[in-house]
Amino acid sequence: MTHTVELYDTTLRDGTQAENFNLSVDDKVRITIALDELGLDFIEGGWPGSNPISAEYFTKMRSVTLKHAKLAAFGSTRHFKNSPDKDPNLLALLAASTPVITIFGKSWDIHVRDALHIRLEDNLQIIEDTLAFLRPQVKHLFYDAEHFFDGFKANKEFALETLVKAIDGGAETVILCDTNGGTLPHELPPIIDTMHAYLNERGKSAKIGIHAHNDSETAVANSLIAVSDSKVDQIQGTINGFGERCGNANLTSIIPALVFKLEVNCEVAKHVDRLHSTSRLINELANLPHNRYQPYVGESAFAHKGGIHVSAVKKNPVTYEHITPGKVGNFRRILISDQSGRSNILHKAKEWNLNIEPNDPVLSTIIAELKELENQGYQFEGAEASFELLMRRALGLHRNHFKFESFRVTNHKYRMDKPPLTEATIRLFIGGNEVHTAAMGDGPVNALDAAMRKALIGYYPVLEELELLDYKVRVLTGEHGTHARVRVLIESKDHDSNWGTVGVSVNIIEASWQAMIDSINYKLMKEDNKVTLQ
């Protein structure tokens, strides 16, 4: 396909309307720079007249030079009682000094009557004169036809006429918005065909865009169908699909589909290998967890678990991967689980520089131990550090940095209106020396962690770098009530990387201890390997 498609990102405006999605002004500036480096054509920064954060953002952006993207300010048509030159919203848009202004207006007659409380002909007038006022004062002028598809179904002639008035006012691109997200893919082509025919009959010409919401789980499909027949020139969406209610069209799925499947012309094709890192950056700045199951950029997007799959992927990745993960900056992962075959284990051994031949008897030992542990409730898909330690022990490559003897944890609830006091004591041997320490903590796991660090850091100062990122508990056998077996997953990090470890027991403190011991051992093993490489 030789069609050129513009990509318009609205993460900083529409995306921030998502529940629990919040960004500071500095976050928004940093994301803008990342989106520009990714190759987005337009970046919608916000609604200047809506809140002080948006106004401050546009002020800061005046000192930022973008390499490719053009910054857009977003706002509504004028208030019916204001003339355009006296409308505060329009004046705030001009004060933002952006090369692009995007105006939204009503396309659905029910909104005109019930929300604006004006006549349909009055709505057509405010669309045209709002855009006509802005046209001489801005380089690029876009019009978002809000609720266009619902408006088309309710009153086709009126919805189409709003587009005519937008073009008459000077809009160079009119964007068809599925604001409620209820339109299904099969509905779009005939509506867009009718729209094109109507504009041609009226002698009107403009670029056409699509802005889909995901309330029917079809925002990506609707966007791709709209562009696939060269009927639409611009796609609007957000990174990771963030947006109000169920979100917006997800650009991290749309972009690789455009580049690798439809082969359309777009600037982002030159930088699509930044997609994975850009997706993660925005999650991190919004302080939201990464969706591991997200297509293309998720941690599980190119993860292989079944032994047959792994064997095939090693021979030819196309057998179970629709694109090469590196094209979008992602990575192939081979998972370790009770479904694992010899191929999985050998792949991980190679990844960790462990020498295991396919006919080595230790391979069967590792597989048998893996299956037995997972039968007990262990899970290594999110705890590969624990599995690497298991393999190294089986190969006789694991160094015992310390020998654990015992631990004790006590909780003392001395007043009902005060939190309990928690103390942990541990006893272990390091290089033949007995170490006996105690520490207080906010709960038993925190107290154990503090006691272990007190015992070990004097001998292994590198453990100062170790940080616990996440702690998860999963009940495995609910039929036993409070006697249920639990699995604890811990995610740790240092300045180089993150890793996961696991513990399982009927005692949550023991399971936590197991996972923490593995985390410490993994960190010390990493440092040993660094010394060996040097």
- pLDDT tens for 314-361 read 788 888 899 999 999 998 877 766 555 677 788 888 889 998 888 898
Angle (nearest 5°) at CA 233 between 232 and 237 = 90
The pLDDT of residue 481 is: 57
pLDDT band, very low/low/confident/very high, at 485 (cuts 50, 70, 90): confident
Alpha-carbon gap, residue 332 to 320, rounded angstroms:
11
pLDDT score at 2: 65
CATH hierarchy code of domain 6-270: 3.20.20.70
Which residue in 2, 6, 3, 27 sits closest to 237, CA to CA? 6
Residue 483 or 530, more confident? 530
* Average pLDDT of the segment spanning 234-249: 98
Residue 314 or residue 278, greater confidence: 278
Band (pLDDT 50/70/90 cuts) for residue 383 is confident
Residues 374/367, Cβ–Cβ less than 8 Å:
no
Would you list the domain boundaries of the chain? 6-270, 303-394, 403-533
Q: Cβ contacts of residue 232 below 8 Å, gap of 6+?
A: 5, 176, 192, 208, 209, 210, 226
pLDDT score of 95 more than 80: yes
Structure tokens at 330: 């992602």
CA pair distance 77, 90, nearest whole angstrom: 8
Statement: residue 238 has pLDDT above 90:
yes
DSSP state of 488: E
- The pLDDT of 76-93, averaged and rounded, is 96
* pLDDT at 375 > cutoff 90: no
pTM for the model: 0.74
DSSP secondary structure letters along 109-148 = HHHIIIII-S-HHHHHHHHHHHHHHHGGG-SEEEEEEETH
Fold held by 403-533: Double Stranded RNA Binding Domain (3.30.160)
Q: What is the pLDDT of residue 472?
A: 86
Distance CA 102, CA 95 (A): 14
pLDDT in tens, 129-157: 999 999 999 999 999 999 999 999 999 99
pLDDT score at 183? 97
Task: Please give the DSSP secondary-structure letter assigned to residue 403.
Answer: E
When mean pLDDT is compared across 14-28, 130-144, 168-182, 408-422, the lowest value belongs to 408-422
